[in-house]
Amino acid sequence: MICRMGTDFQFQMALYLIAGSDESIGVKIYDKSTGKWTVPTVLGKEPKPCKGHSAVAINEDRILVIKKGATPDDCIWFLEVDTQYVREQKTIETEIVAWSKGVIGNAQKPVVISGPSGVGKGTLISLLMKEFPSMFGFSVSHTTRKPRDMEKDGVHYHFTERSVMEKEIKDGKFLEFASVHGNLYGTSIEAVEVVADDGKRCILDIDVQGARSVRASSLEAIFIFICPPSMGQLEERLRARGTETEEQILKRLCNAKAEIEQGTSSGIFDHILYNDELDECYKTLKKLLGLDGSTVANSQTAPGGIDLPVDHSVSKIDNKILINCGTPGSGEASKNLIVLDVSSLKEGAPGRTRGLDVYTVYSFSDGLNGINKLS
Ligand SMILES: Nc1nc2c(ncn2[C@@H]2O[C@H](COP(=O)(O)OP(=O)(O)O)[C@@H](O)[C@H]2O)c(=O)[nH]1
Ligand SMILES: Nc1ncnc2c1ncn2[C@@H]1O[C@H](COP(=O)(O)OP(=O)(O)O)[C@@H](O)[C@H]1O
């Protein structure tokens, strides 16, 4: 492995070294109090190797890493060293850092939908996905339960063995997980990232325990609880669906009481919807998601990127990162300065940092300038 680039950052008690090779980008930490180097546990998907990188410390929380020669959608990354997410994952034994990819603009908050089995969560989500296919993406959960007749692996769930899922949970691959009706269910970090990378708003269908975990995490979301009009109607719907055995139906009905109690009284949920008449409930759901005609349905912007030349220099002034791409040529306008505004950074899904504003400044040889906002 040939190490051909490195940047280092001094924080109060530690120095972070980011070094890249043809194969990987590695991180080492020098502890000033003990004088020792350690290799931290690195969470998140590591950026692909590149032709070099520039890096700037944004604050004590994270370091911005700009990859050279990367594709426009893959050049802005953050090494999180003390963000809320990293603090949540910290163990006593090892130092932890996390990679997260920079997302231009403000993708809309994910939507968490919970409610008892048979209340109509899946039905409402299907309606949304059908009416707004380019706006919403479903977070495909993992589960140890067996697939139903019509369910497809990788579409409705990632059907998995308990031992495999438990190992992946241990390896930090899950945003949340819970035991529901005797099976293990969980949202992998990747499931949420896939939707974000597609430029879509993520919908999570998870139980109340999962919603509680997400509420406590760094992922900002809208939380909606769906209630049945009555326990009798819930039972009717579950039986009419015809996907569960009698034993499973009874277990689900028994759990429904506690779920409804927690869902309606725990303060986890921003909105409680009653799914009596499906059409009415769907209309209300669209209204609270801002889809009642006041917004253009498919207006979600595609995931953006920045076309960076390999040769550039980086500097920081307050909350602005200036990427200098060289002097303009004669005659034509040339893009010679890209400005990243990091004043409204937000933690997204683990593995993503949202809220990056990007401007390109064009200069003409006669001294005139033009500004173009990408986000
Ligand atoms: N915590 C958590 N719950 C999930 C996840 N995926 C599904 N669930 C919940 O697990 C419960 C059972 O789901 P499922 O087996 O599909 O049955 P259904 O609710 O009757 O359609 C529902 O409350 C789902 O919301 C997940 O990734 N995490
Ligand atoms: N408002 C409603 N009125 C009557 N039946 C409904 C309504 N909403 C959903 N259903 C039906 O109830 C059953 C359970 O709905 P489903 O979406 O599978 O629930 P969940 O995903 O919450 O378990 C399905 O057969 C569905 O067609």
Q: What is the residue whose two structure tokens read 């546990």?
A: 41
Tell which residue, 291, 78, 333, has the closest CA to residue 203. 291
Which of 208, 237, 273 to mutate for ligand 2's pocket (most ligand atoms within 8 Å of CB)?
A: 237
What pLDDT digit, counting tens, does each position of 80-124 carry?
A: 999 988 888 887 678 899 999 888 876 678 999 999 999 999 999
The residue whose CA has the least distance to atom 10 of ligand 2 is 120
Better-scored residue on pLDDT, 229 or 364 = 229
The residue whose CA has the least distance to atom 1 of ligand 2 is 278
Contact assessment for residue 195 and residue 352, using Cβ atoms and an 8 Å cutoff? no
Closest atom of ligand 2 to CA, residue 236: 12
The single-letter code of the amino acid at 343 is S
Cβ neighbours for 140, distance < 8 A, ≥ 6 positions apart: 154, 155, 156, 157, 158, 191, 194
Which of 121, 185, 234, 239 to mutate for ligand 1's pocket (most ligand atoms within 8 Å of CB)?
A: 185
- Cα 320 from chain centre: 24
Q: Which ligand is nearest to the CA of 121?
A: 2
Please give the distance, rounded to the nearest whole angstrom, from the Cα atom of residue 370 to the centre of ligand 2: 54
The residue whose CA has the least distance to atom 24 of ligand 2 is 241
**Is the interface score ipTM higher than 0.85?**
yes
Q: Is the CB of 21 under 6 A from ligand 2?
A: no
Tell which residue, 276, 272, 290, 234, has the closest CA to residue 112. 272
Here the tokens at position 286 are 């669209």
Q: What is the residue whose two structure tokens read 């070099």?
A: 52
CA–CA distance, 206 with 201 (Å, rounded to integer): 16
The residue whose CA has the least distance to atom 27 of ligand 2 is 123
Which residues sit opposite 63 in a β-bridge? 57, 79
Better-scored residue on pLDDT, 12 or 278 = 278
The model's pTM? 0.75
Q: Which ligand is nearest to the CA of 253?
A: 1
